[in-house]
Amino acid sequence: MSLGNRTILVVDDEPRTRQGIRQTLEVWAAGRYIVETADNGIDARDRLLQGRVHLLITDVRMPEVSGLDLIRSLKGEVRKPVIIVISGYAEFEYVQQALRLGAVNYLLKPLDKGELVQVVEAALKQEEEQQRHEKLEKLVDHKLMEIDPDTAGMGEPVKEALAYVEQHLHEQLTLAEVAGMIHLNASYFSVLFKEQTGVSFSEYLSRLRIQRAKELLLQTRLPIGEIGERVGYRTDKYFIKVFKSLEALSPSRYRQQMKDERSEIQ
Task: Report pLDDT for 77.
Answer: 81
Cα distance between residue 232 and residue 251, in whole Å: 15
Preceding peptide of 110 cis, ω within 30°? yes
H helices within 64-112, ranges in order?
Answer: 67-73, 92-100
Q: Can you give the pLDDT at residue 266?
A: 36
- Given this model, what pLDDT does residue 86 score? 95
Beta bridge partners of 59: 86
Pairing of strands 34-38, 7-11: parallel
Please choose, from the candidates 232, 181, 177, 168, the residue with its C-alpha nearest in 3D space to the C-alpha of residue 206: 232
Helix (H, G, I), strand (E, B) or coil at 108: strand
Instruction: Give pLDDT, residue 79.
Output: 80
The rounded distance, in Å, linking the Cα atoms of 129 and 160 is 37
pLDDT in tens, 35-66: 999 999 999 999 999 888 999 999 999 988 99
The CA distance from 13 to 62, in Å, is 6
d(CA 118, CA 139): 32
Given a contact cutoff of 8 angstroms between Cβ atoms, the answer to whether 109 and 88 are in contact is yes
pLDDT averaged over 10-residue windows placed end to end, the chain, 266 residues: 71 95 96 94 93 94 92 86 91 91 94 96 93 83 91 91 95 95 96 96 97 94 96 96 95 88 48
Question: Could you tell me the domains of the chain?
Answer: 7-130 (3.40.50.2300), 142-265 (1.10.10.60)
Could you give the CA distance from residue 91 to residue 250 in angstroms, rounded to a whole number?
A: 49
